Structure 1
């Protein structure tokens, strides 16, 4: 199998974003403990990559017939015939078991959360995509688990910081995903996916997206509000959230694919900037 096919099978860009999010949260959890175990950090990165890749692999197995219908997915290895379902299943199971073992070796809670994320993403979110826009709410849970898993891998319990990290990524996902769904709505509908809040590109979907961008603003300030971050992360998060909110308002005003595309690209920048600032500010506070 070519690297390009493997990359498409595991949705490489999405997987790397997930691993990045988990690795930053691991470092935050490590600083909360007072030390960083770099071997465990590597285990988290490798294990997180494998678990996320497995979940994406199972997703593509389940949706193989639907992927043939959409322009952006028809060249994936399973629908294009470069890989059969049995091969993908063996690969997915192998990555899932290896990744879960690595994450479970850090602590039991990390391993359990990783299994839960695979099951919820592949076997709850995936089939719901054709039934109702509620799929986005279900998918936001496994989508927000990476920072929680990363933090717990280092800190071994779910505390306020873990819930804040989860909360920021959870709320961010709605704006991020609905922007993508707006851009790709025509393609999604070829496979029968109903992912926009109202099921269509209209004022209702734009309003709901804008509301979640508003909610994200105070949620992004929780590290500063609860004293885990200082004015640096608070200021950067406020500026990023206001820019994000402006882009969401642009979608509300124009209700166009171009406005949604700007919001989508804005979402790619938002999360890593806010998470990195939380890390840097938190390190400064615990020294």
Structure 2
């Protein structure tokens, strides 16, 4: 996920904003909204927000005893008793059930399935794994990668290589983002009993952040090969991809708080910038290009015999 925060409450809002923005951009970047109204996109965005809400609430509900030991989470509403567990669970159900139903009925069943899958992965896999194994980071990255895939399936009704590519951007981006964030919160995570790479495998934490930063360059190069963008995209995205890779290399080499902080803050603007560049360089199909031409510029059709 991610994605995301200065205090956990504000970071959750940032995660939601990034997920929704990535979801919309990934849908628009394909340029295949023919026959689909703006209302469909509204349904999808609102329902996706509901599925995000239901994922967050159980995470906080089950972790109240541990969050009270951490500085950055001890002021959560459930920890402080500002809302009751019953209210939290009711809110999750009120968001989750209509959200998945709306995605299934108003958008398409595939998008609804992906929304339900994301809820399952976050609540039943990622949340308990945080206290058991560092694999929680990889599971969490999958959770964060699914929303843009949902955007693609909502626009096209099918799962295509381009959808997996956009999901791959989110997947790889989350490692430099979260690993840098967790590096300066190692003491907090250790106090809460969470098994994060930064706590139990610090060398791996830095190495994985660098590896996936470089992976963003490779993914950007694959985009035009899959007809998602033009070949301009790998070129104009190269400076920002090289910059985050440079900061990841410094983080890998130094492993100090300053290098981790710089990498984290870079990741906050890198993702929206990368998606914006992908949107501006989207690949149009021949039929879309012809539809955009005025009638006078189209080649004349042959008369019927």
Q: TM-score, normalised by structure 1?
A: 0.91
Partner of 2:58: 58
Deviation at 1:123, TM superposition (A): 1.2
How do 1:12-51 and structure 2 match up within 5 A? 12-29=13-30, 31-34=31-34, 37-51=37-51
Aligned residues: 279
Checking the alignment, whether the CA contact within 8 Å between 1:11 and 1:53 is kept in structure 2 is no
CA drift at 1:10: 9.4
Q: C-alpha offsets along residues 27-66 of structure 1, whole Å, 9 cap, x if unaligned?
A: 224x134465211111112111111011011111111111
Per-residue deviation, 1:197: 6.0
In 2, Cα distance between equivalents of 1:183 and 1:36: 45
Q: How far apart in 1 are the matches of 2:236 and 2:35? A: 26
Structure 1 partner of 2:225:
225
Q: Which residue of 1 aligns with 2:237?
A: 237
Structure 1: unaligned runs, 5 residues or longer? 1-6
Deviation at 1:236, TM superposition (A): 2.7
8 Å CA contact 1:27–1:36 kept in 2: the answer is no
SS state at 1:279 partner: helix
What root-mean-square deviation, in Å, do the aligned CA atoms of Structure 1 and Structure 2 show? 2.0
- Aligned partners of 1:196, 1:235: CA distance in 2, in Å? 33
Higher CA-based Rg = 2
Q: State the distance in 2 between where 1:211 and 1:198 align.
A: 19
2: CA distance between counterparts of 1:9 and 1:280? Answer: 29
Q: How far does the alpha carbon of each residue in 1:114-169 deviate from its partner, in whole angstroms, 9 at most, with x for none?
A: 00001101110011011111111111111100000011011100011111111111
Deviation sequence 1:92-119 (CA, Å, 0-9, x none): 1111112112211200000010000011
Runs of 4+ in 1 over 2 A off after TM superposition: 7-11, 32-37, 224-228, 283-287
Unaligned runs of 5+ in 2: 1-7, 290-305
Q: Which moved more, 1:267-276 or 1:104-113?
A: 267-276
| Equivalent in the alignment of 2:151 | 150
